[in-house]
Amino acid sequence: MKNIGVLISGGGSNLQAIIDACESGILKGLARVAVVVSNRADAYGLERAEKHKIPAFFFNPRDFNANSAYCSMISGELRKHKVDIVCLAGYMSLIDPCLLNDFKNKIINIHPALLPKYGGKGMYGHHVHKAVIAAGESESGVTVHWVNEVYDSGEIILQRKVPVLINDTPEELAARVLAVEHIAYPEAILKILKQG
C-alpha cells in the first residue's frame, strides 16, 4: 500500500477524486491518502480530508521567512506520514528545491491544459482557460506530469483531450476540463504505481 500526500490551495475536487479512487475506485488496495497539506487556511479541501479522517494541515507561508523553511516544514510532515508519492492538486505555488530534493522523482502535478501549451508562471486556474479560448483553440485538456524546478515543464505522465466548444466561457471550459481531471489523476497515479 503506497502513501499519497496531497498538497492543495483550494476546493480540492481533485483531492476528492484521489480519495474516492483510493477508497472505492481504481486505486483501492494500492494506495491511500495519508496526509493533506494546504498553503491556504480557507481551502475547502481541508474539510474534505477531515470528512475522510485524513490528517490535514494548513501551514501559513507568511509564518516562514524563507520559502525553503516553509518547504522543510511540509517535507517533514510528508515524511512523518511516510509519503511515497506527492500529488499537487490545485497547489498554487512553485515547489522549492528542498522539497524536490527530499522527494526526488516522487512529485506529480495536474495542469488544466495540454502542456507544453498554456503552462508556466501565471498560467493557472481560470487564466489557463481564458488564454485557450482567446487563442481560438478547438481543443484543450488535462496533463499530469512530473514536477521539477520549472513550472509545468516536467516529463508528461498522461494527457487527455477535451473539446473547446464555440462560445465557451472560461467557466464552462474549466468545468469540462475539471470533470476529465477527476478521471485522469487517479489513472496517472495507477500508471506510475504499475511502473514501480
We find the least distance from the C-beta atom of residue 130 to ligand GAR, in angstroms, to be 12
Using the rule CB under 6 A, is 112 a contact of ligand GAR?
yes
- Please count the residues of this chain forming the interface with ligand GAR, following the rule CB under 6 A: 15
Q: Output b/e per residue, 148-182; b: 16+ Cβ within 10 A.
A: beebbebeebbbbebebeeebebeebbebbbebbb
How far from 21 is each of 30, 70, 102, 183, CA to CA, in Å? 10, 30, 26, 9
Using the rule CB under 6 A, is 141 a contact of ligand GAR?
no
Closer residue to ligand GAR in complex, CB, 83/147 = 147
d(CA 108, CA 88): 6
We find the least distance from the C-beta atom of residue 124 to ligand GAR, in angstroms, to be 4
Using the rule CB under 6 A, is 12 a contact of ligand GAR?
yes
Q: Which residues are near ligand GAR by CB under 6 A?
A: 10-14, 89-90, 110-112, 124-125, 128, 178, 181
